[in-house]
Amino acid sequence: MKVANPKLTLYAFHLRNNLAQGEEEPVEDANHLWEQCQQLGKTLSVPRLESLLKRLQDSNGKIGITPSKDNPESDYLELLQQKHLLSFSAISNGSSRQLRGEVYPLQIHDSYAVDITLRYPYPHVDVEQLAGLNPQGRLQINQSKSLLGQTLVFFAQPEGKLNEIQTFTDECITAIVPEPDRQNYWLSAQGIFLGSPIVEYKNNQENLAQPSNILIWLNCHPQTETLEEDGDYYQPLINLLCCRSKILYAYSESRWCNQQARRLYRQLDGKVKQLQQLPLETTKRLKQLKEWLTELPQITLDYANYLRDLELHHTTIETNSKNYKFWLKQLHEISLKNEDDLELLQQFISKTSEKLIEQIQVDLSYLLPTQKLFQQMIDTIRGIVETEQAESDRSLQNTVAMVGVSLTAAAVGATVAPYIISPEPQKPILAPFSTNHLHPLTQALLLSLVFGATGAFVTALIQHLHAIPGRLTKLIWSCSDKTTKLSGNTQQILPQSQKPKK
């Protein structure tokens, strides 16, 4: 089968600004979209397209303007200042037919958008030759961190009568999409736009480097070509596709945030289990707990950031869903009444978008309670460390006090020894147990030891008596707590008839 004047348009969208980097400066890879357009120019050997980036930059090397409420121009800004379109001609590899095309770069609020159209300006083109409209499968934008999404739209007039629309559109997909990627697309919905059939094929892969959907729009109505050339539908359609890409991009980012938050949750769960199996030795236990006090605040902060991003993605999807509905309403207003059927565009917002919002809400309902658990974990560990450290310091202080008192008492014993023990300086020092009478020096040493031991004993006794009030207080509180619980349990098991009346 043949078609007349076929054209294939790539609508691609790329983030220009985000909240993380501020509204003043573009994101790091903001020029990725224009660099990919230049790469297509190299593939098609089109010098005008290869120089697109320079054509878009101003004297300061910037592209576009800072989006803001006070600057509504950014809502739909044509980036080529003179003709707004960059037209070119090329001969695709392996084909004698000449390609013609246009590039239409835009800024839509905080995003870049580009319309790259390749066309065969011939009345009779075999369906098999449509592969030249997507040379080497290059009519798409490679993955980047800020690539929002892309859509392919094929528009042509079939020659002859169509018996089965789906059979024909399947042949178009076979020609347009390269073999490795063809199996990823499936027929999603059919409708009528400006009087002619339009069929949507969706990509079942969450891969932003491939068009998320392909629209096959057939020129089968006397008014379709005229209305398409007038272009009143164009701005609502490209804005609608931009909202669609932002919704899918935000959801894709939310999946990553959800995975990272769950990973941190598993780390916390592991710490809770390890908390019940701490080493018995005080030094090792304190070392382990202090390491956790260093790790957990950073984990808690990361976890909070992921939750914040999840909520931002949720807000992004809700906002762009409202915008999508607005632009869909604009398309309804310019459509042919009683003829058009835009249900295939309505399905996305009424089914897909609602499911995405609901899924993020479910994720948050699971993850938000864990944020409190993180803080409770930190507070618990900090309390244990403070208690263990206080006990360790107290034990050390008691030991130091005992040693200090013992040494002081021993010194006192050594001082008073000459007054208690008669000195015998001429008496030789004999081997132990060789005489029944201890040498005066030995007696002095033993007296010092007795004084020291006595001092240590008295100090320990005083410390023990000092600790008794605290232990009694804990015991009283414990007994009071048990009594309260027992009283509470007694109230719960009273028969209904014995409960006090209000």
Model pLDDT, residue 82: 76
Q: Does the pLDDT at position 192 exceed 60?
A: yes
pLDDT, average across residues 49-55:
91
Average pLDDT over residues 373-384: 70
Percent of the chain residues past pLDDT 90, beyond the cut: 42
The SS3 assignment for 199 reads: strand
Alpha-carbon distance 195 to 432, whole Å? 122
Answer positive or negative: Cα dihedral of 57, 61, 63, 67.
Answer: negative
Give the mean model confidence (pLDDT) for residues 4-25: 86
pLDDT at 107 over 90: yes
Instruction: Band the pLDDT of 452: cuts 50, 70, 90.
Output: low
- Give the global pTM: 0.76
* Confidence at residue 222, expressed as pLDDT on a 0 to 100 scale: 86
Binned at pLDDT 50, 70 and 90, residue 493 comes out as very low
pLDDT tier at 387, thresholds 50, 70, 90: low
pLDDT tens digits, one per residue of 458-485: 766 775 666 555 455 444 444 444 443 4
Cβ neighbours of residue 349 closer than 8 Å, sequence gap 6 or more: 321, 324, 325, 328
- Exposed, middle or buried, 440 (CB in 10 Å: 0-12/13-18/19+)? middle
Asked if pLDDT for residue 281 goes beyond 80, the answer is: no
Q: With bands split at pLDDT 50, 70 and 90, how would you rate the model's confidence at 240? A: very high
Query: Which tens digit of pLDDT belongs to each residue from 20-43?
Result: 666 678 888 999 999 999 999 888
Instruction: Report pLDDT digits (tens) over 62-88.
Output: 998 888 776 777 789 999 977 889 999
Compute φ and ψ for 257, nearest 5 degrees.
Answer: -60, -40
pLDDT bin (cut points 50, 70, 90) of residue 435 is low
The pLDDT value recorded for residue 407 is 65
Residue 446 has a pLDDT of: 64
Confidence check: pLDDT of 194 > 70: yes
| DSSP codes joined into one string, 225-243 | HHHHHHTTTHHHHHHHHHH
pLDDT score of 215 more than 80: yes
Between 63-72, 101-110, 243-252, 296-305, the lowest mean confidence (pLDDT) is in 63-72
Strand 196-203 with 185-193, pairing: antiparallel
Q: Binning pLDDT at 50, 70 and 90, where does residue 268 land?
A: confident
The model's pLDDT over 401-426, given as tens digits with 9 standing for 90+, comes to: 566 656 676 666 566 656 566 666 55
Mean pLDDT of the chain: 81
Predicted confidence at residue 138, as pLDDT, reads 87
Average pLDDT over residues 392-405: 60
Confidence of residue 500 (pLDDT cuts 50, 70, 90): very low
More confident residue, 122 or 115: 115
Structure tokens at 246: 């932002």
pLDDT at 442: 63
**Confidence at residue 275, expressed as pLDDT on a 0 to 100 scale:** 74
Distance CA 137, CA 178 (A): 6
* 430-455 mean pLDDT: 62
Residue 160, pLDDT > 90, answer no
> What's the whole-number mean pLDDT along residues 305-322?
94
> In which band, very low, low, confident or very high, does the pLDDT at 314 lie, cut at 50, 70 and 90?
very high
CB 245 within 8 A of CB 150: yes
Q: Tell me how many degrees the CA angle 209-39-256 measures, rounded to the nearest 5.
A: 25
The pLDDT assigned to 116 comes to 95
Q: What is the pLDDT of residues 285-294, one digit of tens each?
A: 777 777 777 7
Nearest to 46 by CA among 89, 96, 8: 89
Instruction: Tell me which residue of 109, 105, 120 sits closest to 36, measured CA to CA.
Output: 105
* Percent of the chain scoring above 70 in pLDDT: 74
pLDDT(256) > 90:
yes
Which of the four pLDDT bands, split at 50, 70 and 90, describes residue 385? low
Give the pairing type, strands 86-91 and 98-108. antiparallel
